[in-house]
Amino acid sequence: MPATDTVRIQLPDHRNYDIRIGSGLLDQPASWQGLPKAAVAVIVTNDTVAPLYAERLRERLQAVYTRVDLVVLPDGEQHKDWASLNRICDHLLGEALDRKTVLFALGGGVIGDMTGFAAAIYMRGVPFVQVPTTLLAQVDSSVGGKTAINHPLGKNMLGAFYQPERVIADLDTLDSLPERELRAGLAEVIKYGPIADAGFLCWIEDNLGALLARDKAVLGYAVRRSCEIKADVVGQDEREQGLRAILNFGHTIGHAIEAGLGYGAWLHGEAVACGMVLAADLSQRLGLMPAGFVERLRALIERAGLPVQPPRLGAERYLQLMRVDKKAEAGAIRFVLIEALGQAGLHAVPDALIVETLTAHGAA
Ligand code: NAD
Ligand code: GLY
C-alpha cells in the first residue's frame, strides 16, 4: 500500500477530522471506512470530473453504502451559484433522502464549496466528505469548513462554516489536471510561506521546477505542509474572529478581480497570485516590509507562470468591489499584510494608499 500522510485538524465538540494525503487513495477501501453510517451516499461532481473519477469512486462507495447516487453539475466558477446549489437540493429532496445521507464532494474548490454548503443546509446539516481533485482544493479549499456560493455583487458572499467528516486528497488525481489549473493551485501554496513559514517559502523557491513537473513526492510535501499550516490556523480560529484572516493574503484584490472581470475569466488562484503582489506592495508602502520582499514574491509568482499585472478596472471600481469584501468593516477596506517573513496581520488601509498601489501597477 503506498504511503499516506495524515494531517489531523483539531476542533472543539468532537469535530476533529483527518486530511489523508497520498497516491492511490481513491482505490483504497480504508479511505471510505469508518465514516458515518448511512444507506445512501451522494457524489456531487461536475461534467469535467465525472468522466474521469466518478465511476471509480462510486464503485468504492458501493462497498460501504446500499445506494450511491450521482449529481453532475455544469463545470465552472460561473456556476457556483443558487442554480447549482438548488440542483443538489432538488436531488436530495426529490429522492426523499434522509438526514443520515452522506455527500461526497468530488472535484475542485467550486464543487467542494457548493457541496459543503448544500450539506450544511439540507435538513439543517448532513455529513459530507471532501474528495479534492485540484491542487488548490487539496492545499486549501477542502480544509477548514468554509462553504459558499458566489453572488454577482461579491465572491463567496453566501455560505456557512461547516466542517467535513474527512478529506481524501489523492495525489494521482492531479495527473489529469490542466497545466493552468496546477499553476493556479501553486498560488495558494506560495501564500502559506509569507503568512506563516519563511522556511516553506525558501522550499517552494527551491522546488518550483519539481512542483511544475508534478514530482509526486514534492507535490505530496507541498500538500502536507500547506494542510499542516491551514489546520493549525483553523484549529485556533475556526470562525475567523482574528487569526484565520491571514489565510486571505492576496484575496482582497483577488476577489475584486474575479468579481470585476466576471467569475471564471481569471482563475481564483491567478487572481490571488496577483493580489499577493499588490498586498506585498502595500506592506512595503506602509513600512512593514522592505522592497526586496516585494521583488522576491513577484519573481516567484512570475516563475510559477502566474499573473503579476492586475486588469485595468479603474480605481473606483476596485474600491467599490473591495468594500463588499467580508473583511471590510464600517466601509474601511482591510488587507492581510505581511509584517515579517512568516507573519501576517489584518490592516485597515486608507483608500489613497490603495489607489497609489493600483496606479503603480497600471490598474487604476
Ligand atoms: P475549480 O473547482 O473550478 O476546478 C478547476 C478546474 O479543474 C475545473 O474546470 C474542474 O472541473 C477541473 N478539474 C478538477 N479536478 C480535475 C482533475 N483532477 N483533472 C482535470 N480537471 C479537473 O477550481 P479550484 O481552483 O479547484 O477552486 C477554486 C474555488 O475554490 C473558488 O471558487 C474559490 O473561491 C474556492 N476556494 C475556497 C476556499 C475555502 O476555504 N473554502 C479556499 C480557496 C478557494
Ligand atoms: N481560504 C481561506 C480560509 O479558509 O480561511
Report the predicted TM-score, pTM, of the whole model to 2 decimal places.
Answer: 0.97
Confidence of residue 304 (pLDDT cuts 50, 70, 90): very high
Taking alpha carbons only, the member of 276, 219, 230 closest to residue 252 is 276
How do the domains of the chain map onto residue ranges?
4-176, 179-360
Mean pLDDT over each residue of the chain, to the nearest integer:
96
Look at ligand 1, atom 44, and give the residue with the nearest C-alpha.
141
pLDDT value of residue 2 = 61
Determine the Cα–Cα distance for residues 117 and 162; give it in Å rounded to an integer: 7
Residue pLDDT, tens place only, 136-149: 999 999 999 999 99
Catalytic residue, chosen from 77, 188, 228, 270, is 188
Reading the block at residue 8, the C-alpha cell is 489531523
**Of 233, 254, 242, residue with least CA distance to 308:** 254
In contact, 195 and 338? CB cutoff 8 Å: yes
Point out the catalytic residue in the list 155, 255, 326, 334: 255
Q: What pLDDT is attached to residue 144?
A: 98
Is residue 139 within 8 Å of residue 231, measured between CB atoms?
Answer: no
Q: Is residue 177 within 8 Å of 162, Cβ to Cβ?
A: no
If we measure between CA atoms, which residue out of 184, 201, 161 comes closest to residue 289? 201
What cell numbers appear for 73 in the block? Answer: 453539475
How far from chain centre, in Å, is Cα 8?
A: 18
14 is catalytic: no
Neighbours of 184 (CB within 10 A): 27
**Buried/exposed code over 3-21 (b: 16+ C-beta within 10 A; e: otherwise):** ebbebebebeeeeebbbbb
CA of 58 to the centre of ligand 1 (A): 21
Q: Whose CA is nearest to atom 20 of ligand 1?
A: 177
**Rounded-to-integer distance, Cα 22 and Cα 170, Å:** 5
In contact, 147 and 116? CB cutoff 8 Å: yes
| In this structure, CATH architecture of domain 4-176 | 3-Layer(aba) Sandwich (3.40)
The values of phi and psi at residue 310, to 5°, are -70, 155
Nearest residue CA, atom 39 of ligand 1? Answer: 141
Q: Which of 251, 326, 327, 334 is catalytic?
A: 251
pLDDT digits (tens, 9 = 90+) for 119-140: 999 999 999 999 999 999 999 9
Residue with cell 493600483: 358
Closest by CA position to 59, among listed 21, 87, 31, 88: 31
Quick check: do 4-176 and 179-360 share a fold? no
Distance in angstroms between the alpha carbons of the first and the last residue of the chain: 54
Class of domain 179-360: mainly alpha
pLDDT over 90 at 24, yes or no: yes
Q: Give φ, ψ of 223 to 5 degrees.
A: -65, -45
* pLDDT of 327: 80
Measure 134 CA to ligand 1 centroid, in angstroms.
Answer: 6
Contact residues of ligand 1, CB 6 A cut-off? 46, 48-49, 52, 75, 77, 80, 107-111, 113, 133-134, 136-137, 140-141, 144, 146, 156, 173, 176-177, 181, 184, 268-269
Q: Is 146 a catalytic residue?
A: yes
- Find out whether the beta carbon of 248 lies less than 6 Å from any atom of ligand 2: yes
Q: Report CA(39)–ligand 2 centroid distance (Å).
A: 32
